[in-house]
Homo-oligomer: A and B are copies of this chain.
Amino acid sequence: MKKTRPLILITNDDGISAPGLRALIAVMAEIGEIVVVAPDNPQSAMGHAITINSMLYLNKISKDSDPFLEYSCSGTPVDCVKLAVNEILKRKPDLCVSGVNHGSNSSINVIYSGTMSAAVEAGIEEIPAIGFSLLDYDWNANFETIKTFIRKISLEVLENGLPEGVVLNVNFPKLNEKDIKGIRICRQAKALWVEKFDKRKTPQGRDYYWLAGEFVNQDKGEDTDEWALENGYISVVPVQFDLTAHHAIQQLNTWKWNE
C-alpha cells in the first residue's frame, strides 16, 4: 500500500515573491504535498508579532490547475501559520518549514526573526517545524548549493519527529556545497546588536531615525551557532518556547518577596 505523502506547510518572512521561498518550495514539492501561505509583503524582523487590532486578507494565488495551493496573506509570518492551520489546511500538517531566509537568523537574531517566529508558532501548535536561513542577504543569493541539505534535514525531522516543545533553527554558511563541512547541533551564541541610529531630516526639516547597528558576538564557545557558521558548518539550534529561566527560580526564591 502506498504511504500517504506528508503534508507540509511552507511560509517565510521575506514575502511570497522571495527566491528563498521558491527554493524551499522546490525541495518540499519533491518530498510531500505542500501548501504555501506567505506574507504579501516583506515582514523581516517582525518577531512573534500577530495582528489583533486590524483584519487580515488571504489571497489565493494558485489556480485550480496548479500542483499545490498557494496563498499570500496581509499579516505577519505568525498570522500566516495561524490562518493556514485554521482556515486552509484540512488536517494538521506533518511539517512546517519557514524560509529560506535571505540573511542570518543565528544567535540572538532568532528572537527578532519572522522566519523563526513562524516556525516557533507551528511548534506551539505541536507541528514539527524548521526555520531555514542562508547567510546571504542578496535577493539573488544562490540557494542551489543548500537544497541537498534542506532535503536531508527535513527528511530526518519527518522520520524522527522532534522533542516536545522544540523547533529547529537552521543556518547555512555562504559557501559552495563542496566547501560545507557538515551539520552541527549547536547552542545559540551569546551575542547582541550594538545599535547606531542614523539620524536624518525629512525634506520638511523633521528629525527621523533609521535603525542601523553592528552584530557583536561576545561568545567564544566552540559549541555555538556562530562558531559553526564561521568554520564552514551548517548550524542547527534546537529552539524552545518555554522562556522560563528555570535555573533562576531557586535564587529568586531566596528573596524577601512576602515580608
Contacts and interface: CB of A to CB of B under 8 A. Distances in A.
Contacts of A156: 255-257
Interface residues of A, number: 79
Nearest to A212: B52
Contact of A163 (B87, B120, B190, B248): B248
Nearest to A54: B210
A156 to B, nearest CB: 6
Contacts of A31: none
B245 A238 contact: yes
10 nearest A-B residue pairs (beta carbon): A47-B48, A240-B245, A238-B248, A238-B245, A47-B47, A183-B257, A49-B49, A187-B244, A182-B258, A55-B208
Given A45-B52, A163-B245, A185-B253, 19 more contacts: A44-B53, A45-B53, A47-B50, A48-B117, A49-B49, A49-B76, A51-B211, A57-B208, A58-B209, A82-B197, A87-B199, A108-B241, A110-B243, A111-B243, A166-B245, A185-B257, A238-B248, A238-B249, A240-B248
